[in-house]
Amino acid sequence: MGEGKASTLVFILVVALSLVAFGFSIAAERRRSIGKSIQDPITNTTFCVYDSDVATGYGVGAFLFLLSSESLLMSVTKCMCFGRPLAPGSDRAWSIIYFISSWMTFLVAEACVIAGATKNAYHTKYLSSQTFSCASLRKGIFIAGAVFIVATMVLNVYYYMYFTKSVSSPPAHKANRSSSNIGMAGYA
């Protein structure tokens, strides 16, 4: 997996890890915990009972799989900061654009899935039984994360494609000054 040639294995791993993260995010949205108001007939108190806390685990799974996908790509490309310099041209420009865009969508996707998982865990684990509001996680938090996960995946694929094109292109030709003899003909 050298810098100069695009690796099919890297493409497959980045896409597969991102799609697993997408699947976990969709599963988390479908399994959000929902509270039901229950009245205890003995004590005559009303309290909330939440169903399972599976969505929190799915949200954390989506977070970790997307993080591993991004980490894999950044380690292979050396985060575009280390290694061989990129050759000037449109490939380098597109590589920089996709790099910045993929990081922005990555941060938003990670924020959505971890915020959804945290909020879901809060509702199911940390609310007291005396709480009369059966608050639940808003619909769409994990879906927003899933949309940004797909956007991150697409941008990462394009980033890696343009990065490898830019690294594998030959560097700009520099003049060889050691053989230059302009004005020095008599001193050779």
- pLDDT per position as a tens digit, 66-99: 999 999 999 999 887 787 778 888 988 999 999 9
What residues in the chain have per-residue pLDDT under 50?
1, 131
pLDDT at position 177, please? 54
pLDDT at position 169, please? 65
**For the chain, how many residues are written?**
188
pLDDT at position 151, please? 98
What number of H helices and E strands is found in the chain? 4, 2
pLDDT at position 60, please? 94
pLDDT at position 167, please? 84
pLDDT at position 42, please? 81
CB 19 within 8 A of CB 153: yes
Q: Token digits for 94? A: 């597109």
pLDDT at position 21, please? 97
Q: Within a 10 A sphere around the Cβ of 56, how many other Cβ atoms?
A: 24
E-only strand ranges, 30-152: 35-39, 46-50
CB 53 within 8 A of CB 136: no
Say if pTM beats, i.e. exceeds, 0.95: no
pLDDT at position 179, please? 56
pLDDT at position 3, please? 53
pLDDT at position 83, please? 74
